[in-house]
């Protein structure tokens, strides 16, 4: 079991002992700046409650059901402790953290089962069916859209949480075909370590990488930070096995098929409502020998967007391109500046740039390439830079990219620290076609700023473009606001509603890579139409006629 | 209406007046060689029957239904003539041609409707529902797997053929996003001509290109000859509109989404069983300024396969790579040789090569690149050639590629001419992961040769690899055999059965790009499992509760 819950925060992001690692001087500078921007002093929130202080209703699962579960999963594989039930009670969205910190939880799984193989997963589903329990598949638990809420239907006796993390083995590597087959409960670091031992990589690095699972990536149509080069999990998936209440669905290992609709695609994004993904074959590659990230500074967001679009449509094989808008650029430069450090070449360059016309409104682009051949990587970066310069980009060298790469899995830790200091952070993302992207960026930013003003009296809204395609790109919005001391959840809900309405109205998708979960369900029919949802319900009815699987999500 | 049925052969492939254009000397040489290989003289088949000689049962559609259809589609848009009913009675598979040539048809659509817009498509579905008619969507009619057979259920009053070819307009081009939106009944040449006028291309060139439609490509998960560079229709599709008996399903124009499973993917490969695709937005690119195809000769199939695999896994951006096995290489070289031509540099080169060790067992690879920049195209070809040479490849220059490119849409015409001379030709295709490809090639070839021996007493079996991926490739088999004079259909069915069994047993897919239709239905549960099919039936039930849409296909 590679994800040990004991090593994870029960009420915050990620691993115990890990943090953003800002220096004290930077922390002070950041809080001062936020206070200045919000036009008010920050009020630290009361300290989070201890896990022991939570009062859980006793598990309602009858002893006979527990005995059957133990027969399937072993004694250690069936848990009803408060520790386990709290750890599996929520994901890691902002409202999840707000609830966990206050101890304000209204639902817990009745029992957590850790099946050890595919047969045991099937047995757990059968036991849950006969006990009238809903089943919530749970991998890393890092959902930020309510995807692992232990909900159950009115006629059900609560929810069983099916933790997949014992399914963590590498089953085989097919070197000729460049594929590897894993059990689906394996987490990011374990998967990459097993591949690295063979000189290989999957190249899938979502921000949750350190504590999310292969099965979770597939269930949520996950996208990694280097997806421009490697593709999303949808492109990386070759075949899978999924245990449903009616039996196993499996696809075969072929590179492509026209024997009807692509069944992998029905499972990709199914968010646990059809079954439990237990095994997956994925495309792997030789681990890159060279990885380089470079920075460019644009005079405004529009120039940067045009540059990224041109790079992408010219087919330049970048592994990433990440363009911050002016507001995000400004905050990042502030966060970057270390008051204790005397000589900072990037800071000096930026000062010179400001005088030369790259001042207010300027935007940083990080673009990267990686691969086996240094020469090819260099050529890619050279071609990208030439396009960037034609759009007014000023080369910033390797410094900004190095900092970003070092902290690429760290930034979510900042959220917990900011919450301690009375500042809420949430992120919302979408994708637009290029022709709608500028207006979409403006419309969503405006909606977000208005909502922050209305809901919090002040706030900061910023965004970056990442994960670009020939026909469009993802926009990823970050908002910070002073936390309402008493109605923080309502405050969040108002902001979330306004932003989501604006995204849908501007022609964006509800999610480029976070998923639907419970948070986006109310908007889904607007994006997809009711008929498409009815068809998905029809497919679900064939696989899960009793409606056991992950109630309240997606459908 | 860009596909005028009057310009197409009713009982053969493609357009009237078009042919493979072999010289008389080549024709004679080919027939002599086939006769030699089969070990017997060829018996020309009786001439095909005339369309007028077919005796069709009268259309069973009541006058009142016809009147309603005319109100929806206009007088010209509703046809019950023998010409129309025969033209829409079958696709273009070998058994289809055998039936058509003999006039041995057992099913005709009762009526052919040509709706002129999305509203009219919806009206036709409603009229069909109330009249108890099955609906068979029909684009170019080039299915080679029985995908447009006018079948109907036992409780239905026959089939209505819904011809989509009046839906042939370009609706809009979005230059920034690099997308174009068409009505889905537009055919290949019309679509490319409209794009070419704007300096653009879709880059999708299936062998049926000249008389197949955008909607048909989507419904069958079509793959073009340059798909290694442009992607298949699945990668080219951004959004669509599909009219189902319950209403319109549509997807939005975003580059990527994680708001549940990808709905485009439920429609891609749905073969008309869910509804009628009426509109599609596709990714387009600037038309290439340079297009080059080069040849390499390998000592054996294994070396060539290893070379293509290496090129593909190194990420070299080829637009195509097509490797013939020894049998196909031999026949192609024979077909290529013009007895009337004195000086043929390629032929001389091949003679020299034979003496230098590229003799029996040798295999030709054609590989190509195209794009806006000649320099990049050259680099791609250079990199590919270097890999090819490391695997023993002998450069053949541009000649073989030029010949292939000129005839790339022509080869199916050869089938009709061979049928005239008593020779049957059929093609069967699949995809294997690289690690299964060599054994798959051998197993299927062996099964095919055994089946030809058993069913026809003799025959030729050959294959090529095309459409390659990081993890595998398509294998495309061609068989020629002396046609049984009386039981040609049974003869074909036996051969087809043996090959399909061998493909499935070797771990291949039932189809890489031809589809399921009626011909592969019997094997589908072996590839997908019954549960996946039940889920698809569940989705269909929500969109088509009466089971109107294309009965007998896929499910």
CATH, residue A184: 3.30.465.10
Coil vs helix vs strand at B27: helix
Question: Per DSSP, what are the bridge partners of residue B298?
Answer: B363
Sequence-distant (≥ 6) Cβ neighbours of residue B367 within 8 angstroms: B293, B294, B295, B296, B308, B311, B318, B320, B321, B322, B381, B384, B388
CA-CA-CA-CA torsion sign (A98, A103, A104, A109):
positive
Best interface-test mutation with A: which of B207, B242, B260 has the largest number of A CBs within 10 A?
A: B260
Does residue B127 share a domain with residue B10?
Answer: yes
Q: Please give the residue range of the domain that contains residue B121.
A: 5-25+48-163
Q: Which residues of B touch A514 (CB under 8 A)?
A: 258
In 10 A of CB B58, how many CB atoms? Answer: 7
Does residue A81 share a domain with residue A174?
Answer: no
Q: Which residues of B233-254 are buried (b: 16+ CB within 10 A; e: fewer)?
A: bbebbbbbbbbbbbbbbbbbbb
* Nearest beta carbon to residue A258 from set B251, B283, B514: B514
**Beta carbons of B258 and A472 less than 8 Å apart:** no
Does residue A145 share a domain with residue A18?
Answer: yes
Comparing alpha-carbon positions, the chain A residue that sits nearest to B306 is: A176
Q: Which of B369, B392, B408 is a domain's end point?
A: B408
Q: Take residue B392 and report the two structure tokens written for it.
A: 């023993």
Does residue B223 share a domain with residue B194?
Answer: yes
User: Which is nearest to B274 in space by CA: B64, B480, B550, B57?
Assistant: B550
Q: Which residues of B touch A176 (CB under 8 A)?
A: 309, 433-435
C-alpha to C-alpha distance for A397 and A374, rounded to whole angstroms: 17
Chain A contact for B177 (CB, 8 A cutoff): yes
Per the CB < 8 A criterion, the answer to whether B447 and B509 are in contact is no
Comparing alpha-carbon positions, the chain B residue that sits nearest to A383 is: B376
Q: Take residue A440 and report the two structure tokens written for it.
A: 């979409």
CA-CA-CA-CA torsion sign (A371, A373, A379, A381):
positive
Best interface-test mutation with B: which of A227, A238, A256 has the largest number of B CBs within 10 A?
A: A256
* B203, part of any domain: yes
Does residue B279 share a domain with residue B218?
Answer: yes
**CA distance to A72, A138, A170, B420, B494, per residue, from A279 (Å):** 19, 15, 10, 52, 37
C-alpha to C-alpha distance for B148 and B96, rounded to whole angstroms: 11
In 10 A of CB A386, how many CB atoms? Answer: 12
Chain A contact for B504 (CB, 8 A cutoff): no
Smallest CA–CA distance, residue B79 to chain A, in Å, is: 31
**CA distance to A383, B182, B260, B279, B473, per residue, from A508 (Å):** 30, 21, 14, 20, 35
Comparing alpha-carbon positions, the chain A residue that sits nearest to B220 is: A258
Chain A contact for B233 (CB, 8 A cutoff): no
Chain B contact for A383 (CB, 8 A cutoff): no
pLDDT in tens, chain B (555 residues): 667 888 899 999 998 988 887 888 888 989 999 999 999 999 888 899 999 999 999 999 999 999 999 999 999 999 999 999 999 999 999 999 999 999 999 999 999 999 999 999 999 999 999 999 999 999 999 999 999 999 999 999 999 999 999 999 999 999 999 999 999 999 999 999 999 999 999 999 999 999 999 999 999 999 999 999 999 999 999 999 999 999 999 999 999 999 999 999 999 999 999 999 999 999 999 999 999 999 999 999 999 999 999 999 999 999 999 999 999 999 988 877 776 666 777 778 888 899 999 999 999 999 999 998 999 999 999 999 999 999 999 999 999 999 899 888 888 999 999 999 999 999 999 999 999 999 999 999 999 999 999 999 999 999 999 999 999 999 999 999 999 988 999 999 999 999 999 999 999 999 999 999 999 999 999 999 999 999 999 999 999 999 999 999 998
* B395, part of any domain: yes
CA neighbours within 13 Å on the CB side: how many for B266? 34
Residue position matching structure tokens 């009807």? A260
User: Which is nearest to A434 in space by CA: A302, A295, A300?
Assistant: A302
**CA distance to A10, A77, A79, per residue, from A83 (Å):** 8, 14, 9
C-alpha to C-alpha distance for B369 and B376, rounded to whole angstroms: 9
C-alpha to C-alpha distance for B412 and B476, rounded to whole angstroms: 14
Q: Take residue B338 and report the two structure tokens written for it.
A: 């013009």
Does residue B227 share a domain with residue B134?
Answer: no
Q: Which of A136, A163, A190 is a domain's end point?
A: A163
Chain A contact for B375 (CB, 8 A cutoff): no
* A114, part of any domain: yes
* A274, part of any domain: yes
* Nearest beta carbon to residue B535 from set A257, A532, A539: A539
Q: Over the stretch B498-542, which tens digit does the pLDDT of each residue have?
A: 999 999 999 999 999 999 999 999 999 999 999 999 999 999 999
Best interface-test mutation with A: which of B535, B543, B545, B554 has the largest number of A CBs within 10 A?
A: B535
Q: Take residue B308 and report the two structure tokens written for it.
A: 């293509």
pLDDT in tens, chain A (555 residues): 667 888 899 999 998 988 887 888 888 989 999 999 999 999 888 899 999 999 999 999 999 999 999 999 999 999 999 999 999 999 999 999 999 999 999 999 999 999 999 999 999 999 999 999 999 999 999 999 999 999 999 999 999 999 999 999 999 999 999 999 999 999 999 999 999 999 999 999 999 999 999 999 999 999 999 999 999 999 999 999 999 999 999 999 999 999 999 999 999 999 999 999 999 999 999 999 999 999 999 999 999 999 999 999 999 999 999 999 999 999 988 877 776 666 777 778 888 899 999 999 999 999 999 998 999 999 999 999 999 999 999 999 999 999 899 888 888 999 999 999 999 999 999 999 999 999 999 999 999 999 999 999 999 999 999 999 999 999 999 999 999 988 999 999 999 999 999 999 999 999 999 999 999 999 999 999 999 999 999 999 999 999 999 999 998
Q: Which residues of B touch A525 (CB under 8 A)?
A: none
Sequence-distant (≥ 6) Cβ neighbours of residue A375 within 8 angstroms: none
Q: Take residue A197 and report the two structure tokens written for it.
A: 């031992």
Chain B contact for A251 (CB, 8 A cutoff): yes
Task: Provide the CATH number for the domain around residue B124.
Answer: 3.30.43.10
Coil vs helix vs strand at B497: helix
Question: Per DSSP, what are the bridge partners of residue A428?
Answer: A477
C-alpha to C-alpha distance for B426 and B407, rounded to whole angstroms: 18
| B351-354 long-range contacts, CB within 8 A, separation 24+ | B353/B297, B353/B394
* A229, part of any domain: yes
C-alpha to C-alpha distance for A383 and A403, rounded to whole angstroms: 23
Does residue B159 share a domain with residue B11?
Answer: yes
**Beta carbons of A538 and B541 less than 8 Å apart:** yes
Does residue A18 share a domain with residue A144?
Answer: yes
Smallest CA–CA distance, residue B192 to chain A, in Å, is: 19
**Beta carbons of B536 and A261 less than 8 Å apart:** yes
Question: Which residues of B449-500 form beta strands (DSSP E)?
Answer: 460-469, 472-482
Task: Provide the CATH number for the domain around residue B487.
Answer: 3.30.300.330
Q: Which of residues 97-136 of A touch B (CB under 8 A)?
A: none
* A179, part of any domain: yes
**Beta carbons of A259 and B508 less than 8 Å apart:** no
C-alpha to C-alpha distance for B143 and A356, rounded to whole angstroms: 63
C-alpha to C-alpha distance for A47 and B555, rounded to whole angstroms: 59
Strand A159-163 to strand A111-113: parallel, antiparallel, or no bridges (unpaired)? parallel
CA-CA-CA-CA torsion sign (B411, B413, B418, B421):
negative
Smallest CA–CA distance, residue B196 to chain A, in Å, is: 18
Smallest CA–CA distance, residue B62 to chain A, in Å, is: 32
In 10 A of CB B340, how many CB atoms? Answer: 9
C-alpha to C-alpha distance for A228 and A224, rounded to whole angstroms: 9
**Beta carbons of B542 and A540 less than 8 Å apart:** no
Question: How many structural domains does chain B have?
Answer: 4
User: Which is nearest to B133 in space by CA: B103, B106, B112?
Assistant: B112
**CA distance to A71, B179, B502, per residue, from B280 (Å):** 52, 10, 36
C-alpha to C-alpha distance for A58 and A62, rounded to whole angstroms: 11
Q: Which residues of A touch B434 (CB under 8 A)?
A: 176-178
Q: Residue A532 is inside which H or E element, if any?
A: helix A530-543
**Beta carbons of A252 and B536 less than 8 Å apart:** no
Residue A333's Cα: distance from chain center in Å?
Answer: 24
Contacts A–B by Cβ distance under 8 A? 293
**Beta carbons of A257 and B509 less than 8 Å apart:** yes
**CA distance to A463, B228, B388, B541, per residue, from B266 (Å):** 32, 23, 38, 14
DSSP state, B1? -
Smallest CA–CA distance, residue A539 to chain B, in Å, is: 4
C-alpha to C-alpha distance for B29 and A140, rounded to whole angstroms: 67
Chain B contact for A512 (CB, 8 A cutoff): yes
* B93, part of any domain: yes
Chain A contact for B415 (CB, 8 A cutoff): no
Comparing alpha-carbon positions, the chain B residue that sits nearest to A519 is: B259
Q: Which residues of B touch A436 (CB under 8 A)?
A: 177, 253
Smallest CA–CA distance, residue B203 to chain A, in Å, is: 14
In 10 A of CB B43, how many CB atoms? Answer: 12
C-alpha to C-alpha distance for B266 and A283, rounded to whole angstroms: 23
Q: Which residues of A touch B474 (CB under 8 A)?
A: 256
Q: Residue B378 is inside which H or E element, if any?
A: helix B374-390
Q: Does ipTM exceed 0.85?
A: yes
Q: Which residues of A touch B547 (CB under 8 A)?
A: none
Chain B contact for A58 (CB, 8 A cutoff): no
Does residue A148 share a domain with residue A10?
Answer: yes
Does residue B155 share a domain with residue B52?
Answer: yes
* B312, part of any domain: yes
Q: Take residue B414 and report the two structure tokens written for it.
A: 């050869």
Q: Which of A123, A144, A163 is a domain's end point?
A: A163
* Nearest beta carbon to residue B269 from set A252, A261, A515: A261
User: Which is nearest to A371 in space by CA: A207, A180, A229, A221?
Assistant: A229
Chain A contact for B207 (CB, 8 A cutoff): no
**Beta carbons of B309 and A176 less than 8 Å apart:** yes
In 10 A of CB B18, how many CB atoms? Answer: 17
Does residue A145 share a domain with residue A108?
Answer: yes
Phi first, then psi, for residue B391 (nearest 5°) are: -100, 20
CA-CA-CA-CA torsion sign (B541, B543, B545, B551):
negative
Phi first, then psi, for residue B48 (nearest 5°) are: -60, 150
Q: For helices A488-505 and A94-102, what crossing angle results, to 10°?
A: 170
Does residue B279 share a domain with residue B420?
Answer: no
Per the CB < 8 A criterion, the answer to whether B110 and B60 are in contact is yes
**Beta carbons of B512 and A256 less than 8 Å apart:** yes
User: Which is nearest to A332 in space by CA: A547, A33, A18?
Assistant: A33
**Beta carbons of A221 and B532 less than 8 Å apart:** no
Question: Per DSSP, what are the bridge partners of residue B522?
Answer: none
């Amino acid at each position: 079991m590679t994800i040990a819950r004991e090593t994870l925060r029960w009420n915050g992001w990620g691993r115990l002992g890990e943090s953003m690692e800002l220096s004290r001087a930077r922390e002070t500078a950041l809080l001062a700046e936020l206070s200045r921007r919000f036009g008010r002093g920050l009020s630290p929130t009361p300290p989070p409650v201890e896990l022991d202080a939570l009062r859980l209703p006793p598990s309602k699962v009858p002893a006979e059901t527990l005995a059957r579960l133990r027969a399937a999963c072993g004694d250690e594989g069936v848990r009803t402790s408060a520790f386990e039930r709290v750890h599996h009670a929520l994901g890691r969205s902002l409202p999840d953290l707000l609830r966990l910190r206050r101890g304000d939880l209204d639902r817990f799984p009745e029992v957590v089962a850790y099946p050890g193989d595919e047969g045991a997963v099937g047995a757990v589903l059968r036991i849950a069916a006969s006990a009238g329990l809903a089943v919530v598949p749970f991998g890393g638990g890092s959902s930020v859209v309510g995807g692992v809420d232990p909900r159950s239907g009115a006629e059900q006796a609560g929810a069983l949480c099916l933790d997949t993390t014992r399914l963590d083995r590498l089953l085989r590597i097919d070197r000729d075909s460049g594929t590897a087959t894993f059990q689906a409960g394996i987490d990011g670091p374990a998967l990459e370590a097993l591949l690295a031992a063979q000189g290989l990589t999957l190249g899938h690095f979502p921000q949750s990488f350190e504590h999310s699972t292969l099965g979770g990536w597939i269930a949520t149509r996950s996208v990694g930070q280097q997806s421009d080069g490697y593709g999303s999990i949808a492109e990386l998936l070759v075949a899978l096995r999924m245990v449903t209440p009616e039996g196993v669905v499996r696809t075969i290992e072929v590179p492509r098929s026209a024997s009807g609709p692509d069944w992998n695609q029905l499972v990709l994004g199914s968010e646990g409502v059809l079954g439990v993904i237990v095994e997956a074959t994925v495309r792997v590659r030789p681990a890159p020998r060279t990885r380089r990230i470079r920075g460019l500074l644009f005079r405004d967001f529009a120039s940067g967007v045009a540059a990224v679009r041109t790079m992408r449509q010219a087919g330049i094989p970048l592994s990433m391109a990440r363009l911050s808008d002016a507001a995000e650029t400004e905050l990042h430069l502030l966060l970057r500046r270390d008051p204790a450090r005397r000589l900072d070449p990037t800071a000096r360059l930026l000062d010179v740039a400001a005088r030369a016309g790259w001042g207010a409104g300027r935007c940083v682009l990080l673009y990267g390439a990686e691969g086996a051949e240094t020469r090819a990587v260099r050529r890619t970066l050279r071609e990208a830079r030439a396009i960037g310069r034609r759009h007014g980009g000023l080369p910033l060298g390797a410094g900004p990219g190095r900092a970003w790469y070092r902290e690429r899995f760290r930034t979510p830790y900042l959220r917990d620290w900011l919450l301690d200091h009375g500042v809420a952070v949430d992120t919302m993302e979408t994708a637009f076609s290029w022709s709608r992207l500028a207006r979409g960026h403006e419309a969503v930013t405006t909606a977000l700023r208005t909502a922050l003003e209305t809901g919090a009296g002040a706030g900061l809204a910023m965004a970056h473009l990442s994960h670009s395609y020939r026909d469009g790109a993802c926009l990823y919005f970050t908002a910070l606001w002073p936390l309402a001391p008493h109605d923080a959840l309502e405050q969040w809900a108002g902001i979330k509603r306004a932003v989501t309405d604006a995204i849908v109205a501007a022609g964006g998708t509800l999610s480029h890579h976070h998923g639907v979960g419970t948070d986006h369900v109310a908007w889904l029919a607007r994006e997809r139409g009711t008929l498409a949802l009815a068809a998905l319900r029809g497919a679900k009815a064939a696989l899960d006629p009793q409606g056991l699987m992950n109630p309240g999500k997606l459908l």
